[in-house]
Amino acid sequence: EAGVAQSPRYKIIEKRQSVAFWCNPISGHATLYWYQQILGQGPKLLIQFQNNGVVDDSQLPKDRFSAERLKGVDSTLKIQPAKLEDSAVYLCASSASRDHTYNEQFFGPGTRLTVL
């Protein structure tokens, strides 16, 4: 079974530029998550999709961040314009959501963003 795929793996941009990340979840997984992980911290949930609908985006800075999962499969996360404090690893995860008790999430390798 293929894991969660993310691209690019690394991205360096200057502040005020735009950037987009792509995630392809495990086949058949209905739930997709985007996390932001700042160095030395645990991941912070940015947005959660159930199929193509948003379940939770309470911690997404909506003035600059946007995400979509139009067909309920792969997803893109965009930052426009980027700030220095956006430097972090952006992790995508997916889960089958068949068992809420365990809700096993499988993570991709992440995209490391550096904003100069």
Partner 1 sequence: KNQVEQSPQSLIILEGKNCTLQCNYTVSPFSNLRWYKQDTGRGPVSLTIMTFSENTKSNGRYTATLDADTKQSSLHITASQLSDSASYICVVSSMDSSYKLIFGSGTRLLVRP
**Which spans of this chain sit near partner 1 (rule: CB under 8 A)?**
4, 40-45, 48, 55-56, 91, 93, 100-105, 107-110, 112
Q: How many residues are recorded in the chain?
A: 116
When the beta carbons of 32 and 80 are compared against partner 1, the nearer one is 32
Least CB distance to partner 1 at residue 78 (A): 20
User: 106 and 30 in contact (C-beta within 8 Å)?
Assistant: no
When the beta carbons of 17 and 37 are compared against partner 1, the nearer one is 37
User: 51 and 59 in contact (C-beta within 8 Å)?
Assistant: no
